[in-house]
Structure 1
Amino acid sequence: TSTIYEAAVLRDLFQGLVMQDAKANVIPGAAESWTVSDDGTVYTFKLRKDGVWSDGAPVTADDFVYAFHRLEDPATGAEYA
């Protein structure tokens, strides 16, 4: 995406590890909980056991690792990475 409008649609279509409630507080999404290291550099997420894709296949940690690696890859040209 390259506009706020597109980002809003994607946010409504897809669930991230965390989401925001109506008051913009961070709440669980695909992750049921998470911890942050004391120095704030390592986030560890515990995925919900009932997380599935639209086809019923389980969502895995590898799915999120792949997505973040793809997002950060300069070849994808993700403007808001």
Structure 2
Amino acid sequence: MSSSTSASVEARSQAFQTVFEDICREIQGSVLPDIVLPWADDDGAASDSCLLGPSLEGGMPGRLALHLKNNLVDLSAFDQGDYQD
């Protein structure tokens, strides 16, 4: 790999990290730290299921999803449901 390619990858990685860290600071208060959370359906009714945390209250923020998709992070696992699924 040439040094110019290496410098380009380094610059893109640094730019990705900077924006990612900014988003993480913004959503810090939305992170639910509990390891096991009671699961409620979309209507708010309790169920016998639990969610393994940590998780994000309200699911993955749009800005974070867009940043990851724009930077070629594979989010295909989330295509069939929301982030908390």
State the TM-score, normalizing by the size of structure 1: 0.30
Q: Which has the higher helix share?
A: 2
The higher relative CO (CA closer than 8 Å, separation ≥ 6) is in 2
